[in-house]
Amino acid sequence: MQQEYDAFTKKYFRTDRFPHIWCPGCGLGTAIQAFVKAVEKSGSDLDRTVVVSGIGCTGRAAGYLNFDSFHVLHGRAIPFAVGLKLANPKLNIVVLSGDGDLFAIGGNHFIHAARRNNDLLVMCVNNFNYGMTGGQLAPTSPLESSTTTSPYGNIEPSFNLPWLAASSGATFVARWTILHVRQLINTTVEALGKRGFRFIEVLSPCPVNFGRRNNLPEGLDELKMYQKHCEVANFSDPRLADIKWSEKIILGKFVDQEKQAYEEKIALLSQKARGVKRG
């Protein structure tokens, strides 16, 4: 068993960079492990699989994964990934980043990639704050939650990420927590096998910054909260997926549809253009 685990770790991780620098109780280790197990289970070709990460706690993942990966500028993971895919359509590209990187400075890129239906899998590890830089308020911080920049409680409505993705045009939208590891792995396997703009939100603890300011001082405390307050309801209306501590948090798959990917349209347009020139 230990030999199998060692072989798996060596295959998928840059072990020379261990131990990692994530905080005790952080859910990122679980989230990244779930992603890697999904890659293994899906049989993805590692020579054609690329991970792109932005800046933030989740952005560190690119440096630990033992296949082609890019750690790019803050908020620019999606446009970088779009460029890679257009340059080499045979690549399977996963954008793996955090809520601050993807939905604050990178928010405009997200909605337009979803609108165009770029062939990308975007996985957002959402810890409700800017964990790496001190725990500031983020676009995903729930109402009334406390952060270093909202010590008296957040008064700004937060993004409902599944609804944002669905209303922008994503073909596949799901949400799980790091407590729901098996569901997260299976959903990621499913998403890896599809085309178009796919989005998975992963709710994850940040006990050091967000948790201790919101009565969740240990990683286990947030897992217990997930166990108590989460409800799996596949194909629910994503408009109902707001996160409020006093209400149920809806998990599951919200959207699963087939649409022609942007890169397929580009290929057809290129063929049409070549035909016009020959004529």
**More confident call, 273 vs 219:** 219
Q: How confident is the model at residue 237 (pLDDT cuts 50, 70, 90)?
A: very high
Record the pTM. Answer: 0.95
Residue range 12-49, pLDDT digits in tens: 999 998 999 899 999 999 999 999 999 999 999 999 99
178, pLDDT greater than 80: yes
279, pLDDT greater than 60: no
Q: How confident is the model at residue 278 (pLDDT cuts 50, 70, 90)?
A: low
**More confident call, 163 vs 1:** 163
**What mean pLDDT do residues 228-237 have?**
96
**What mean pLDDT do residues 52-62 have?**
93
CA angle, residues 34, 38, 39, in degrees to nearest 5:
120
**What mean pLDDT do residues 244-264 have?**
94
Residues 153, 147: Cα–Cα separation, whole Å: 7
- What are the sequence ranges of the domains in the chain? 2-278
**What mean pLDDT do residues 141-170 have?**
96
CATH superfamily, domain 2-278, is Thiamin diphosphate (ThDP)-binding fold, Pyr/PP domains (3.40.50.970)
Residue 277 is predicted with a pLDDT of 61
86, pLDDT greater than 80: yes
Residue 162 is predicted with a pLDDT of 98
Name the packing angle between helices 2-12 and 28-42 (round to 10°).
90
Buried b or exposed e, range 158-186, using 16+ CB within 10 angstroms: bbbbbbbbbbbbbbbbbbbbbbbeebbbe
Residues 243, 263: Cα–Cα separation, whole Å: 34
Residues 125, 61: Cα–Cα separation, whole Å: 11
Mean of all residue pLDDT scores within the chain: 94
Q: Is the peptide bond before 19 cis (omega within 30 degrees of 0)?
A: yes
Q: How confident is the model at residue 1 (pLDDT cuts 50, 70, 90)?
A: confident
**What mean pLDDT do residues 79-93 have?**
96
